[in-house]
Structure 1
């Protein structure tokens, strides 16, 4: 019997922790599988997806910069992936790929683990790209008092407010227009930290006891973490737990069982 094959695709992707995470999940669940990282250039994406399907891969995780482009190449997508306009998990069908998005679920599971409440809170998302799109729907469904999405230019947040209006009210802002606002939870969904940068923000954005969470982890999360500490955040967390939780959700979609995440997260730490 052949061993099921899985992979994470992106560019760059050699740094990905996904192979290690899924190897541990498989071991803990008593499942045999192969999981690798495959670098794919954007212009090769459609051809490579067909090749990987022909080679018998059973599922793929999708990371930057392919999440939006992959959505258009699927034969079908889940409702949450369609709403996000982004796919981070591909499930093999007989004739192609079904796309799903486990990012928002992964975030909410990690926030719950950390005791970061969304219901009834004033929540700010920094950034309006693919990372933000994957988490907005689940965050709106969690019942915040206010959900604001902020970006350098106004167009992307306004597009997102329109896109998600059926789910709930999303307030679009530029970073500069946040002046005078205060939030209980701030989530960094920008990629600025990967270049060692941090968006320019007005002072005083954090309410007393505010909690800050970065979707990035490792070195990329340090600029936001430094900013949050200077603003006297009560809690500062990175996205490593979200990475593990969204991976567990992918594993469950592929193999029908949800692995334990705490031991894997502890190992990565």
Structure 2
């Protein structure tokens, strides 16, 4: 049987909800670019059914999975082995299925870094960086952000002690501090919103003098219209204020590379997904 006649290799994204996911379209474009014989679907998983769903997918010959909310912690616990960045993030968004078992990685942070650094020209080395929020999205981004060598990274959260605990967990990797919103003072060159508040049109309480001159504001969520945080950045003089669509494509490209050994071109995919 020729490769063209063979059944395509199976990949999927698992989440709840998952209907809105752009991942099948992204990986479809990557496969077309690189000539890879594969299919990629989305699978809605019951909130208590992640391990069972992965076992079923593996038994049916599936070769790899992306994992989205709320299962990244479950995937971290389920994996037989982990990359260093997934271990530190305590979250997995990419699973490789092989005879050796389940290998878990986290490509969210590298997706964020590549979008900021490579696509938007935002220097992270030596920068004063603020992450707004101390949940799973922030934790997933921290390993890759700190590898870039920022001068200082501060985590701000509604609950100050949660930010302080997260900062302490990464204190060995750089100058990392944490605190509440009420203690925020200005001068940050890169501000990353790692909360989902913007999807609901809400904003954390940010001071008007938060941004250094020429600062970049980056929202890790994405939407067809500018998010509340992107609008805030533009209103407060940010040189760049963008959402996380590029991060979505870049983290997918890293997953694709882990699965297929080929690095796809991301720029045409981002252009295709961005509403006119």
Q: Which of 127, 135, 154 is matched with 2:160 structurally?
A: 154
Judge which range, 240-249 or 149-158, deviates more.
149-158
CA distance in 2: counterparts of 1:68 and 1:169, whole angstroms: 26
Q: Which of 113, 117, 125 is matched with 2:123 structurally?
A: 117
Cα deviation, residue 146, structure 1:
1.2
CA distance in 2: counterparts of 1:2 and 1:152, whole angstroms: 50
- Structure 2, gaps ≥5 residues long: 1-5
Aligned to 1:63: 68
Aligned to 2:218: 213
CA distance in 1: counterparts of 2:144 and 2:54, whole angstroms: 28
Q: Which of 175, 189, 205 is matched with 2:194 structurally?
A: 189
Judge which range, 34-43 or 155-164, deviates more.
155-164
Mapped contact 2:199–2:228 kept (Cα < 8 A): no
Number of equivalent positions:
268
CA distance in 1: counterparts of 2:65 and 2:225, whole angstroms: 24
Cα deviation, residue 120, structure 1:
1.2
CA distance in 1: counterparts of 2:57 and 2:182, whole angstroms: 44
Alignment of 1:1-269 (within 5 A): 1-94=6-99, 96-112=101-117, 113-178=119-184, 180-219=185-224, 222-269=227-274
Cα deviation, residue 95, structure 1:
5.5
Cα deviation, residue 220, structure 1:
7.7
Mapped contact 1:147–1:171 kept (Cα < 8 A): yes
Q: Which runs of 4+ in 1 moved over 3 A?
A: none
Structure 2 counterpart SS, 1:120: coil
Return the TM-score normalized by structure 2.
0.93
CA distance in 2: counterparts of 1:114 and 1:229, whole angstroms: 16
RMSD (Å), alpha carbons:
1.3
- Structure 1, gaps ≥5 residues long: none
CA distance in 2: counterparts of 1:83 and 1:18, whole angstroms: 25
Cα–Cα, structure 1 residues 88 and 96, in superposed 2: closer, same or farther, change >3 Å?
Answer: same
CA distance in 2: counterparts of 1:50 and 1:202, whole angstroms: 48
